[in-house]
Amino acid sequence: MHQFSFHNTINFKPALTEIISIGTAVPPHSFNQKDVIPMMQKIYGLDAIEGRKLAFMYRQSDIETRYTVLEDYTHDDEKHWNFISAVQNEPLPNLDERMKIYNREALPLSILAINDCLKDKISPKDITHLITVSCTGMSAPGLDLQIAEAMDMKPEVFRTSVNFMGCYGAVHALKLAKLICDSTPNSNVLIIATEFCTIHFQKEYTPDSASGTILFSDGSAAVLISNKIQSEKKLQLADFYSKVAYKGKKDMAWELSHRGFIITLSSYISDLIEQDIAALVEEATQHSGLSIKDITHWCIHPGGKKILNAIQKQLKLNNDDMRFSRDILSRYGNMSSPTVLFVLKEILDNLGDTPVNVFGTAFGPGLTMETFLCTKQ
């Protein structure tokens, strides 16, 4: 991997670091949230009472549709299940088999998102820096090299990867992109976040596994960030702020296992966010020289209905402030790291000519709370 070089930057006056475009892609298999309830009840082997509880949670999720690389979820008939077995004692695929799925499916979906992002704006050969983001699949050589080769990028393209940071991974990648553009002239940075949460399904029925089954889905998002390209519709990456609530470190976790990646997703997460979000946003906006009333658009990671409700309540936001986040949750579910970029794309695509301040936030293991500010004058 090429080392990051600061040569010829001594007299470099940083140009604006701007988000030029965002592209998204989802796998071909989709299912309606209510249609998958009988399948989940059968797989978990639930009795009538527990089955009704699970169905209630599904219906209360505010999610309509989710996407997956696994065709199993689209079939009621277990004869068509290849990944998931209806036999209670029969194990699911091990970690090796799950990673084979990721390695097979991640590249083509990533390319779809990248093509949607780049379009007529830039050639892949003009990408100077490539940042891949994922917490659901890893290998070496990894997705970064696969993308660079498949898209015929220059062999000297700078590559780095953000792994295992969870839902806020894309915010960390945005931060890296700004650091690169602020220190290196003529930079065209491509971020690609690709997650297959559904390949880490676990059969054991616990509150954590049930929550994950209700929320998570698959998707990919690509962002082009540059200090060089001129574009009419763009957002300046202005500032970042982050904080860790250590009291929540056991409530959200993501661990490797021979059975796949095991998620801990406590029901207290929304309570923890509700306790801390107002202070976090106040500190973050002050760090940027703004106040909460200066924010025109809210790009909140839709980690789930309870999280969005808690944030809306604490920040005293109206339904219009939350519309982009709620819309993405309804149409896609929680895809982990790409999700906040799906929300940001909706905001970018609906901007007018007036100045804006876009405040974004996402959450992950730790409990880590990351924020970013984008502006347009």
- φ, ψ (nearest 5 deg) of residue 282: -60, -45
- The Cβ of residue 32 has, within 10 Å, a number of other Cβ atoms equal to 12
Reported as half-sphere exposure (CB side, CA atoms, 13 A), residue 377 has a value of 5
Q: Residue 267's pLDDT is what?
A: 72
pLDDT score at 12? 56
Residue 86 has a pLDDT of 64
pLDDT per residue of the chain (377 residues) written in tens, 0 to 9: 444 444 444 555 667 999 999 999 999 999 999 999 998 898 888 999 999 999 999 999 999 999 999 998 888 777 778 888 766 667 788 999 999 999 999 999 999 999 999 998 999 999 999 999 999 998 888 999 999 999 999 999 999 999 989 899 999 999 999 999 999 999 999 999 999 999 998 888 877 778 888 999 999 999 999 999 977 778 999 999 999 888 877 777 777 888 888 877 777 788 888 888 999 999 999 999 999 999 999 999 999 999 999 999 999 999 999 999 999 999 999 999 999 999 999 999 999 889 999 999 999 888 889 999 999 98
Q: Write down all domains in the chain, each with its CATH number in brackets.
A: 235-376 (3.40.47.10)
Nearest residue to 38 (alpha-carbon basis) of 52, 28, 26: 52
Rounded Cα distance between 176 and 71, Å, is: 35
pLDDT of residue 325: 98
pTM across the whole model: 0.93
**pLDDT for 365:** 84
Tell me the C-alpha distance between 370 and 167, whole Å: 10
Residue 303 vs residues 172, 260, 274, 299: alpha-carbon distances, Å: 17, 21, 13, 12
pLDDT at residue number 376: 94
